[in-house]
């Protein structure tokens, strides 16, 4: 079974913030499939969805971003899956606003949620779908990632959400190399 894990922070205070774009992508994907999150597994909200005959588990960890490794490891162990069958969806401050990039493996790039996952899984060798959230200029990075998108940025982000959902579908239905060719 493939698993798609969207990163974000729990609670309404963080809804639609830059750091929660992983949650936004998962929500949009499942909304398009006419499925919503309704189940809880320990410290995550989960739902299964059938995509072209394959059961896919969608996960939104409910610990704060910097602790994302704990629920990710629990989900991976519970489902006894290979790490190449887990796709982490996250924000990236180093990518231009709206840019979508998928990689088979790679470092955390300074993202604390991804660092937590790598630390708990003891590897960086798992697929990552990164969505550019813009870059902080003079603002504190923490304040920037916890801010909401401006009106001007919302159209770009809506397009990025669509592209990210397409990337997830390609990742599910093809291999990672084809997915990278189609998206990057």
The CB density around residue 72, as the number of other CB atoms within 10 Å, is 27
19 catalytic per annotation: yes
According to the annotation, is 66 in a ligand binding site? yes
According to the annotation, is 64 in a ligand binding site? yes
Catalytic residue among 2, 18, 19, 169: 19
According to the annotation, is 112 in a ligand binding site? yes
According to the annotation, is 29 in a ligand binding site? no
Q: Which residues are catalytic?
A: 19
Specify binding-site residues for tRNA.
Answer: 14, 64, 66, 112
């Amino acid at each position: 079974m493939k698993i798609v894990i969207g990163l974000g922070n729990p609670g309404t205070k963080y809804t639609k913030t830059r750091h929660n774009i992983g949650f936004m992508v998962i929500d949009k994907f499942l909304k398009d499939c006419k499925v919503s999150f309704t189940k809880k597994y320990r410290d995550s909200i989960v739902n299964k969805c059938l995509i072209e005959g394959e059961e896919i588990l969608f996960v939104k960890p409910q610990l704060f971003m910097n602790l994302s490794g704990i629920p990710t490891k629990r989900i991976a162990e519970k489902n006894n899956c290979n790490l190449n069958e887990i796709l982490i969806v996250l924000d990236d401050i180093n990518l231009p606003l709206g840019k979508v990039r998928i990689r088979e493996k790679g470092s955390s790039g300074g993202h604390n949620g991804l660092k937590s996952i790598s630390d708990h899984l003891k590897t960086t060798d798992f697929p990552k779908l990164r969505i550019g959230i813009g870059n902080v200029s003079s603002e504190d990075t923490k304040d920037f990632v916890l801010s909401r998108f401006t009106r001007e940025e919302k159209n770009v982000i809506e397009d990025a959400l669509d592209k990210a959902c397409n990337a997830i579908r390609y990742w599910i239905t093809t291999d990672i190399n084809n997915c990278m060719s189609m998206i990057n």
